Amino acid sequence: MARLTMWLGGAAVLIACGSAAWADEPDATTRLYAEHLALTVCGICHGTAGNSVQPKFPRLAGQNANYLAAQLKAFRAQSRGDPDAIAYMWGMASQLDDATIDALASYYAAQRAEPSATGTSAQASRGREIYLHGVAPQGVPACSSCHGPDAHGLAEFPRLAGQHAQYVLKQLASFQSNMRNVAIMHGVAQNLNLADMDAVAAFLETQP
């Protein structure tokens, strides 16, 4: 319980910081440039409207602009260290300036997210339980407390609804191993077993 309280405290601080650091509105030229980049470069992997086909590449449509901007800046600074970030995004983000990053983030935030899978399953139902209520015996808090009850994200916390299950699973594993070094998520993921991670990922993939 002490761990859960500490985690919620950390989350509250992050939300406050996130609100203060809300992205600036990009000017029209930068917006057009970013849109061109999104369609002709980012779109090769992430889909032109951010609804990627390949589960290796995350869906970005409808994603929180602040989260996206923070991730692009982390790629640029080479501070996000999961394997795909190193192989793909460190280079891709290396020459982006802040204004373009903000414009790209706004572009994807404005796209309509489509779920990457449909249907229900026992695994997804279990995932829904974990997402909404956590796993108290293991000290895992409810995901919804930060990512929102509909998994659309809150402030700095990313939208997870409709995300590829494989991508979510890989990120949880990266948080767990600290390859993606995010203290809050490390705290959550280190107490999740693989079956629970699978279940949450399966649930999120089907969410609108």
Which spans of this chain sit near another protein (rule: CB under 8 A)?
35-36, 39-41, 43-45, 48-49, 53-56, 86-88, 90-95, 170
Binning the chain into helix, strand and coil, the percentages to the nearest 5 are 60, 0, 40
DSSP 87: I
| Minimal distance, residue 34 CB to another protein, in Å | 12
User: Quick one: 7 or 167, whose CB is closer to another protein?
Assistant: 167
Cβ closest to another protein, residue 116 vs residue 207: 116
Taking the least distance from each CB to another protein, the nearer of 196 and 205 is 205
How far apart CA 101 and CA 73 sit, in angstroms, is: 8
CA 103 to chain centre: 18
Q: Which two tokens stand for residue 140?
A: 């895992």
- What is the rounded CA–CA span in Å between residue 153 and residue 63? 8
Q: Least distance to another protein from the beta carbon of 172, Å?
A: 15
Task: Output the smallest distance, CB 91 to another protein, in A.
Answer: 2
Closest CB to another protein among residues 58, 141: 58
Closest approach of another protein to the CB of residue 15, in Å: 32
Closest by CA to 208, choosing from 160, 176, 175, is: 160
